Structure 1
Amino acid sequence: MDNEDYKLICVGTGLKSIFCYLDQDQALFFIQVYVVPLIFLMVLIIGLTLNSLVLWVMIRQTRPWNRSTLFLCNLTIADTMWILTLPFFIHYHFCRLHWVFSNVICKIMRCMYHTCFYNSIYFVTCISLDRYLAIVHPLQSFFLLNMRQSLFVCVGIWVLSAIVSIPSVFMTFVIPCSSNQSVCTLYIFSYGTGKTLPYSVISTVTGFVLPFMAIYYCYWSCTRELKRHNLKSVQKKKKLFRLMYSVLIIFSLMYLPYHLIRNACITIRAMSNNQTRLINSLDASFSMEMAICSLNTCVNPFFYFVTNGNAKNSLRKTLYVCCGETKQQVRLKVAAIHPL
């Protein structure tokens, strides 16, 4: 098959890939080939270690489980599954955007990436709802959302996220650019914007805007409720405020630019069939945002150590068992990781 046949395939799929024959002097090439895989590699090492530690502590040390633990466990599983897609993409980017795996694996990895990405957001929202119920409605909390109902919520999130991510499968292809390069496409960079733009907007509304509004309302209500009551421990009150403000700030910094730039990339493509300088800049910005958002899987494990009252003792026991260190050494490490 010659280059003309490859070009016909690209046009025929409606997914003319911008990654075919990328100019090495472009910022997009540098970000895709060097920055993204390096950050993904760092996230794979650090994120997988931290999330595995949290899962180990929850399974082996946390008794009994409550509603908060269930949501945190699902958040950790979602992040871990997302991280497990990274070796495929690290290899892809380090090989200068050459996908050596099958078309089916490309579709599965993109779908799994999309599903777990939004699952992480949904379970952070559930954790915020749990805090809201515990602070604003403490007496009715366990009647409004008990463990059984929480389990149904978790199952529902996994099922709905998987269903909503199915369209990404049909917008993902392996496109042969040349005899030694095949691109695993991402729908954001597609020129078939008739389908990708509505899908991106719907995903933004359901996966970011609504969860962010819910998180903001929950923490605004919690802040108002805490200010109305004088807690015995001023330090505990400050800790709760820091936690809520941190979640809002991190959530905004991680996900707001990502979704704004993603929709801008697709919208500008819908307005122009040519690869303009503006499109190149937006593509490079979005690629950078993809890498930045991946860092969130390294931040989420700290939710467990901050929100779980027994986390400090659990972490101390786990480090003591795993490392075989003295109790004094473990206490110093725990204090450094969890100073609150």
Structure 2
Amino acid sequence: MDLVNKSFNGNISSGNEDQNNTNQIKCLLLPDDLSFSVIPPYIMIIAILGILLNIFVLMVFCLHKKSCTTAEIYLSNMAAADLLLVSFLPFYAFYVLKRFDWTFGLAMCKLVSMSILMNTYSSIYFMVLIGIDRYLALVHPLFSEGIRRPKFAKLGCVVVWILGFLFSLPALIHRDLTAPINNTKSNCFMNFPSHNVQLTSDLSLSVLGFIIPIFIISFCTIKIIKSLKNRITEGVNAKKVDHKATTLVLAVLLAFLICWVPYHLVKILYFLKDAKLFTSCSVFKLLHICSQIFTYLAYFNSTLNPILYVLVGKNFQKKVKELFRQWDHKRTSTLSNTVSTKLPRSNRSSHNIV
């Protein structure tokens, strides 16, 4: 949301637009821009699919009679974070459709932006937990037995949600509404008190919310892949359950890297632009195009994750089948009990005699 909004509205700060920002808007905002007609339907599609699929994933994890494993605890929290994002995306779709005219008020401006940021940073740290869990399970299985317990996984998830909330506080504090174009449009934008505060906030979030966690995720992913290759080469038979969980986790990790790394890289480029390291119109146009593509690719990850659970997660598929059998058994039992209670007393007596 921030990147695309920046592309169209310039870098409005502290109530005054300088000539550089005005030129930037003229450079980027084209009257016939297809994004105003193409992007809203795309966002609505991934929002609807994301809501349905992530609710389905949460139902499977929560309603299944068996308790979740450590990996499943992390994946279910990922689904909750994805559900948080896609639930607020329709507001943003309408915002783009209205050519960035926000009509939902200041409170929703802050809330929608905060929910997107919470997903952004919660997701990457859930990926850190998932990567560390698989790394310990495969590379240090004996050492990690005491650490990889469900209670520690739940505690880790609580910490991640707290971190996600803290990282999203700038949206809650600095999001504001303004009417920069002849008082006809109300833009939802980040209104930092000064340029230095903006640079400090962007830099700290880039380091803590992307560079450090992506280094950890990359390290764990490489070690996991090496460990799996060594086991295949040496002919070591890993546990089937462990191998299935690792396959799903690797798919989710790789999908996350593909969808989110370009978004964060473009965000770093915007940080360099805000620091006035480049001012070329051609660079602004390139950033605009990249922000369009990579922002909506990142949003798609919230819909892609539950699809991966269904297609790749063998344990998840097994849970789904068991859950449907569980529901079918309950429905059959309820139906038989209902039929037996409706039988005439004489029929039930004669049946008992026989």
State how far apart, in whole Å, the 2-side matches of 1:213 and 1:53 are.
32
State how far apart, in whole Å, the 1-side matches of 2:274 and 2:155 are.
40
* 1:238-249 superposed matches below 5 A: 246-247=251-252, 249=254
State how far apart, in whole Å, the 1-side matches of 2:57 and 2:210 are.
25
Tell me the CA shift for residue 263 of structure 1: 2.1
Q: Is 1:269 aligned to residue 274 of structure 2?
A: yes
Which of 280, 283, 286 is matched with 1:278 structurally? 283
Residue 43 of structure 2 aligns to which amino acid in structure 1? F
Residue 212 of structure 1 aligns to which amino acid in structure 2? I
- Aligned 8 A contact 1:193 1:266 in 2: no
Tell me the CA shift for residue 218 of structure 1: 1.6
Residue 153 of structure 2 aligns to which amino acid in structure 1? S
State how far apart, in whole Å, the 2-side matches of 1:241 and 1:69 are.
11
Which of 107, 110, 127 is matched with 1:107 structurally? 110
User: Which runs of no fewer than 5 residues in structure 1 stay unpaired?
Assistant: 1-9, 324-340
Residue 295 of structure 1 aligns to which amino acid in structure 2? F
Residues 64/319 of structure 1: CA separation in 2 closer, same or farther (3 Å cut): closer
- Aligned 8 A contact 2:199 2:274 in 1: no
Residues 134/126 of structure 1: CA separation in 2 closer, same or farther (3 Å cut): same
- Number of aligned residue pairs: 312
Tell me the CA shift for residue 38 of structure 1: 2.4
SS in 2 for 1:162: helix
State how far apart, in whole Å, the 2-side matches of 1:28 and 1:294 are.
25
State how far apart, in whole Å, the 2-side matches of 1:321 and 1:20 are.
63
Moved more, 224-233 or 119-128: 224-233
Residue 270 of structure 2 aligns to which amino acid in structure 1? C
Partner of 1:59: 62
Residues 267/191 of structure 1: CA separation in 2 closer, same or farther (3 Å cut): farther
Q: Which has the larger radius of gyration?
A: 2
Residue 82 of structure 1 aligns to which amino acid in structure 2? L
Tell me the CA shift for residue 212 of structure 1: 1.9
Which of 128, 131, 138 is matched with 1:128 structurally? 131
Residue 283 of structure 1 aligns to which amino acid in structure 2? H
- Aligned 8 A contact 1:19 1:97 in 2: no
State how far apart, in whole Å, the 2-side matches of 1:61 and 1:223 are.
30
After superposition, the C-alpha distances for 1:184-226 in whole angstroms (9 at most, x for unaligned) are 1157xx8964233332222222222222221222222223333
Q: Is 1:86 aligned to residue 89 of structure 2?
A: yes
Partner of 1:49: 52
**Please, what is the CA RMSD of the aligned residues?**
3.7
Q: Is 1:160 aligned to residue 163 of structure 2?
A: yes
State how far apart, in whole Å, the 1-side matches of 2:137 and 2:206 are.
29
- Aligned 8 A contact 1:258 1:286 in 2: yes
- Aligned 8 A contact 1:47 1:297 in 2: yes
- Aligned 8 A contact 2:28 2:284 in 1: no
State how far apart, in whole Å, the 2-side matches of 1:171 and 1:296 are.
27
State how far apart, in whole Å, the 1-side matches of 2:239 and 2:165 are.
43
* 1:320-335 superposed matches below 5 A: none
- Aligned 8 A contact 2:24 2:281 in 1: no
Partner of 2:264: 259
After superposition, the C-alpha distances for 1:260-279 in whole angstroms (9 at most, x for unaligned) are 21221232233189783422
Residue 181 of structure 1 aligns to which amino acid in structure 2? K
Residues 250/307 of structure 1: CA separation in 2 closer, same or farther (3 Å cut): closer
Partner of 2:184: 180
Moved more, 242-251 or 74-83: 242-251
Which of 212, 219, 222 is matched with 1:210 structurally? 212
Compute the TM-score of the two structures, normalised by the length of structure 2.
Answer: 0.75
SS in 2 for 1:142: coil
Partner of 2:341: none
Q: Is 1:225 aligned to residue 230 of structure 2?
A: no
State how far apart, in whole Å, the 1-side matches of 2:193 and 2:292 are.
17
Tell me the CA shift for residue 26 of structure 1: 4.1
State how far apart, in whole Å, the 2-side matches of 1:316 and 1:185 are.
46
Compute the TM-score of the two structures, normalised by the length of structure 1.
Answer: 0.77
Partner of 2:148: 145
Tell me the CA shift for residue 45 of structure 1: 1.6
Moved more, 253-262 or 77-86: 253-262
Tell me the CA shift for residue 162 of structure 1: 0.7
Moved more, 10-19 or 42-51: 10-19
Identity of aligned residues (%): 23
State how far apart, in whole Å, the 2-side matches of 1:55 and 1:237 are.
21
Residues 241/273 of structure 1: CA separation in 2 closer, same or farther (3 Å cut): closer
- Aligned 8 A contact 2:260 2:297 in 1: no
Tell me the CA shift for residue 152 of structure 1: 1.4
Partner of 2:78: 75
User: Which runs of no fewer than 5 residues in structure 2 stay unpaired?
Assistant: 1-11, 329-354
Partner of 2:36: 33
- Aligned 8 A contact 1:196 1:266 in 2: no
